[in-house]
A and B are shown apart, each in its own frame.
Chain A
Amino acid sequence: MKVFVNTKEIEVLETATLPDALEKFCAIPPFAVMVNEEFVAKSQQENFVLSEHDKIEVLSAIQGG
């Protein structure tokens, strides 16, 4: 099935969990994640089962004022 990570389309298995998609995206720690605009804490990511067309956002540190 298709999911989106930072707007990039990624193909994952129907049974995929969030870490599967993050691995495929090659996310580099440290990062924080939300799925469909909801924050998913690190402790909840392992068992988070994805659904078709889920929108995953992987955020990391940038410069800020």
Chain B
Amino acid sequence: MSSQLDIYGTKVDSRMLIGSALYPSPKIMQESIDASGAQIVTLSLSRQNPQKLGGQAGGETFWQIIQSLGVTLLPNTAGCHSVKEAVTMAQMSREIFATDWIKLELVGDDFNLQPDPIDLVKATEILLNDGFKVLPYCTDDLVIARHLVELGCKVIMPWGSPIGTGKGLLNPYALQAIRDRFPEVTLIVDSGIGKPSHAMQAMEMGVDAILLNTAVAQAQNPQVMAQAFKGAIESGRLAYEAGAMVERDSASASTPTLDSPFWHSNSN
């Protein structure tokens, strides 16, 4: 078994964080989260519609379902476009979910939902000073990561590629640079993961965990895909801890050739 994931001093076994959105049904969401083994689940806030909430004919509300899973909640600030919006959303999340963890999302451009690096740093500073444990969703820019770390972030969450694209790691070099530059920080690749192989690639590089949603929720069979990601993330971590062989350019026989009966017998 691999070592535990550290989120601001809280240790969890699973290195997979999973979102609660986009599943075909609440039942499939529950089963997928169960199958993933994830202990941390992301969720959000939006305007309440009491008629809709109360009119589900005895059906469980999303809130009741999420509570029944017995997982740790990680609220996000999805949809926020300014420092003020993000800070306000974080404050509301802290009250409603009774957690000081916040997945800080601050959209900089609607075209690819790229995080605004400047406002992200500003909002992070305000929230850290207000006692939050900030998990900022950022690009793979080393300097922005450095600013976040210097402010006091113990976790940073760079993208693999834009949210929901499933393109995997567009810039492995940049992610590796962040990993190598800040070995003490918990590094979580958040967004852009499409296949288990993407997640495994990141984990083999030494990334500490993967946060994903669409890749499971929008799979043909979300429950099975959740299992696939679980296996890939665990294997990737084990591979990182085991230490991969050094790649080389020339071939090298794995079977010993000394005392082979055909040793150089046909060579000219």
Do these two chains interact? yes
Question: Which B63-94 residues have a C-beta within 8 angstroms of A?
Answer: 63, 66, 75-76, 78, 84, 88, 91-93
**In contact, B76 and A65 (Cβ under 8 angstroms):** yes
Contact B93 A32 (CB under 8 A): yes
Complex: A65 Cα to B62 Cα, angstroms:
14
With both chains docked as a complex, state the minimum distance between the C-beta of B116 and any C-beta of chain A, in angstroms. 18
Residues of B bordering A, CB below 8 Å: 19-23, 29, 42-51, 53-54, 62-63, 66, 75-76, 78, 84, 88, 91-93, 95-97, 163, 191, 213-214
| Chain A contact patch, size range | 20 to 34
Residues in chain A near residue B43, CB distance under 8 A: 61-64
B138 to chain A, nearest CB (A): 16
* Closest 5 pairs (CB-CB, A-B): A64-B44, A65-B19, A65-B213, A32-B92, A63-B21
Contact of A27 with B by CB under 8 A: yes
Determine the distance from Cα of A36 to Cα of B12 in the docked complex, in whole angstroms: 39
Whether the Cβ atoms of B97 and A61 lie closer than 8 Å is yes
Residue among A26, A27, A60, A61 with max Cβ neighbours from chain B (10 Å): A61
Contact of B96 among A7, A27, A28, A31 (CB under 8 A): A31
Are A62 and B46 CB-contacts (below 8 A) given A28-B54, A32-B96?
yes
Partner of B48, one of A6, A37, A38, A39: A6
Q: Is the CB of A65 within 8 A of B88?
A: no
Check if B76 sits within 8 Å of A60, measured CB to CB.
no
Are B62 and A28 in touch, CB under 8 angstroms? no
Residues of B within 8 Å of A33, CB to CB, are 92
Is B48 in contact with A27, judged by CB distance below 8 angstroms?
yes
Q: What is the chain B residue whose CB lies nearest that of A37?
A: B88
| Cα separation A30 to B76 with both chains bound (whole Å) | 17
Report B214 CB to chain A, min CB distance, Å: 7
Determine if B49 and A65 form an interchain contact, defined as CB atoms under 8 angstroms apart.
no
* B48 A31 Cβ-Cβ under 8 A: yes
A27–B19 alpha-carbon span in the complex (Å)? 26
- By the criterion CB–CB under 8 Å, are A59 and B50 in contact? no
Contact yes or no, B47 A63, CB < 8 A: no
Chain B residues contacting A28 (CB-CB under 8 Å) are 48, 50, 53-54
Q: How far is the CA of A7 from the CA of B21 in the complex (A)?
A: 25
Can you sample 10 A-B contacts with CB below 8 Å?
A: A7-B47, A25-B50, A31-B48, A32-B91, A33-B92, A58-B48, A60-B46, A61-B63, A62-B46, A64-B75
Q: Which residues of A from 49 to 65 have beta carbons under 8 Å from B?
A: 57-65
Extra contacts, 5 of them, besides A60-B53, A62-B62, A65-B78 (Cβ < 8 A), are A6-B47, A28-B50, A61-B43, A61-B44, A62-B43
Q: Are A37 and B84 also in contact (CB < 8 A) when A42-B95, A60-B53 are?
A: yes
Known: A28-B54, A59-B45. A64 touches B92 (CB 8 A): no
Among residues of B, the one whose C-beta sits closest to the C-beta of A33 is B92
Cα(A31)–Cα(B45), bound, Å: 9
Are A65 and B93 neighbours in the complex by a CB distance under 8 Å?
A: no
| Residues of chain A contacted by B51 (CB below 8 angstroms) | 26
- Chain B residues with CB below 8 A from A27, complex form: 48, 50
